[in-house]
Amino acid sequence: MRSKRTFVITAVMALTIMVSQAQEVKVPLRFDFYYSYEKVVEALKALHSAYPGMTSLDQVGKSEEGRVIWALTINNPATGEPLTKPGVYVDGNIHGNEIQAGEVCLYLANRLLTYYGKLDDITKVVDRNVFYIIPVVNVDGRAHFFADANTPSSNRGLRIPVDDDHDGLFDEDGPDDIDGDGNITTMRIRDTLGRFRTDPADKRLMIAVKPGEKGEWTRLGQEGIDNDGDGQVNEDGEGYVDGNRNWGFNWNPPYVQRGAGDYPFEGTGIKAIAEWMFARPNIIMVFAFHNSGGMYLRGPSFKAAGELPQGDISVYNYLGENIEKIVPGYEYLISWKDLYSTYGDFTDFTNNLIGSYSLVGELYQSATETFNGSDRLKDEERSRSGEPSEGERQRLLFNDNVAQGELFCEWKPYKHPLYGDIEIGGWAKMSTRMPPPFLLQELVHRNASSVIFAAQYTPKVAMDVFEVKKIEGDLWSIRVRLINEGAMPSVTYQTIKNKLYPKDILSVTGKGIKVISGGELQDPYTGLVSYKEFKPGVQMCQVPGFGKIEYQFLVSGKGNVVLKFESRKAGTTTQTVPLKEKVQKK
């Protein structure tokens, strides 16, 4: 009876996905289903078509299988060209199975465009920033995740063939959907000497046998057959080059870091995105969305890097602690310290070579799938012996009573060509690491809101010439203040530490004007100034977040003086002042 119900529900799910994917994509976008790669492209084109004056759609590059990686740029040209504003970069789906990451990116784009001019906060954040959005980094992975049978965790890497079993063939023996239900689940065989027996509380689960107990099952791994006739099953699946281990900062070879590839930027799409980002030096904030676990991670990604400068930590803490409130249950953590070390990591690349603040959003907590009267259950890992956790038991109750059985494939017998009589069953492809569609709307909205929140606090530098004072003859004193209302400084402290590029520039020029001296004003009351010895008309500076810096210049001449602040990340601000007495400000 249960297997018949499962078949019907599986068929209904497949039909629902087919119907939703067959529908024309319209703006505003819908978020009650998951977009295939083809539908992501259609959605991006629909947004660009609906808002041509506010968007541009770029082909960043192509994947190993020739699919296009698309980027949508959102910018209001009435408030300036893209490179003159702080850049907020957002991407998702660098791992092929991390589907909802792409949905967050699409939702963000849809939200910014459809609510521009309707909500003040959205309008302001779009007017002041430029948004660069790449919903799908691993375009081949997303395409294959939808088109092929998978587990919730498979199909992560780039489609670069790897000879895992060293037989001269590549990717010839991966898992197979031998029962044809569209999922790759688990195979098990009856074995009185096996390490597992049926859980008496729920026959779908297996528990470890205790000493002296009789076994019932042996796990055989993911469903599949011996495709290459070498006596092994599933030993050479799709090539595994991890897109988040292949970037050109602190890359380490495969014997240190699994999935690293043969060399940094081996992935054609990864290299193309890096070049595309280098062409946009205004990027100051980066969000990379993954799944799962309910975390926002900051670097460093490896311990040997040491801690970030305190000024940057303060920025991250401000963002992270507020994001925890925006997305309840998610935790703001440090990658290497609270999770594990990674090398060739994307956000280490952006922190150190792009000069941005970077956060990884690990989307969704399967612990929300509970049937115990509470909103959330503490996530529990399986024990080393393979015992199911309380979380898994709760998710089965959730599957039965809330998802009507669509998340779990019931165990069923199968005649395997190598193992003989076995059973196949387990969690469906569209489960575990991603929410069912009815839970998707809140996830995409809250996490997109995290990006919008951060974008409200990119550097916002204003110039205030608060004193023009005649000293004698044609000698004048000019005092200027640079004020940053954003939480982020105009240059990250890590950038200054790495000497990645020069600091921002505050310059004083004018026809017939000579700058005699200039420097940072340490104390406006005592007149203490740190004068620069050479080229005093050009001052290198950083404007701190939620802070200010002040400078004093002594100039000689007549007419107008042009003061200009130039920043890669915070844009350019210019003010022209005449050399005449003006009211002093405090």
pLDDT at 377: 53
Amino acid in position 198: T
* CB-based contacts of 350, cutoff 8 Å, min separation 6: 89, 277, 283, 286, 356, 358
Beta bridge pairs of residue 531: 519
Q: Locate 360 and state its tokens.
A: 């990884």
Q: What is the DSSP letter of 266?
A: -
Annotate 454-480 with DSSP letters as a single string: HHTTS--EEEEEEEEEEEETTEEEEEE
Give the pLDDT score at 291.
Answer: 94
Q: What is the pLDDT of residue 456?
A: 98
Question: Of 470, 476, 451, which Cα lies nearest the Cα of 101?
Answer: 451
Bond from prior residue into 300 cis (ω within 30 degrees of 0): yes
Angle of helix 440-455 relative to helix 99-114, nearest 10 degrees, comes to 60
Taking the alpha carbons at both ends of the chain, their separation in whole angstroms is 81
Structure confidence at residue 585 (pLDDT): 57
Place of tokens 């003159």: 84
Contact between 578 and 559 under an 8 Å Cβ cutoff? The reply is: yes
pLDDT of amino acid 5? 45
The burial of 331, by beta-carbon neighbours within 10 Å (0-12 exposed, 13-18 middle, 19 or more buried), is given as middle
Run of H or E including 215: none
How many Cα atoms are found within 13 Å in the side-chain-facing hemisphere of 418?
16
364 phi, psi to nearest 5 deg:
85, 140
504 vs 282: CA distance, rounded Å = 12
Q: Is 387 helix (H, G, I), strand (E, B) or coil?
A: coil
| Dihedral of alpha carbons 97, 98, 100, 103, sign | negative
Nearest to 110 by CA among 538, 444, 362: 444
CA–CA distances in Å: residue 45 to residues 33, 110, 120, 570: 18, 12, 26, 30
* Closest listed residue to residue 518, CA positions, set 549, 495, 497, 489: 549
Which domains, and CATH codes, for the chain?
2-147+240-367+436-455 (3.40.630.10), 461-578 (2.60.40.10)
What is the chain's pLDDT, residue by residue, as a tens digit (586 residues)? 344 444 444 444 454 555 556 678 999 999 999 999 999 999 999 999 999 999 999 999 999 999 999 999 999 999 999 999 999 999 999 999 999 999 999 999 999 999 999 999 999 999 999 999 999 999 999 999 999 999 999 999 999 998 888 888 888 889 999 999 999 999 999 999 999 999 999 999 999 999 999 999 999 999 999 999 999 999 888 888 999 999 999 999 999 999 999 999 999 999 999 999 999 999 999 999 999 999 999 999 999 999 999 999 999 999 999 999 999 999 999 999 999 999 999 999 999 999 999 999 999 998 888 888 665 555 444 444 556 778 888 999 999 999 999 999 999 999 999 999 999 999 999 999 999 999 999 999 999 999 999 999 999 999 999 999 999 999 999 999 999 999 999 999 999 999 999 999 999 999 999 999 999 999 988 989 999 999 999 999 999 999 999 999 999 999 999 999 999 999 999 999 999 876 455 5
Strand positions, DSSP E, 335-394: 357-363
For residue 478, which of 427, 424, 521 has the smallest C-alpha distance?
521
The pLDDT value recorded for residue 376 is 57
Instruction: Give the residue from 423, 420, 418 showing the smallest Cα distance to 228.
Output: 418
3-state DSSP assignment of residue 423: strand
Listed residue (430, 433, 426, 431) closest to 222, CA to CA: 426
> Which pLDDT value is given to residue 383?
47
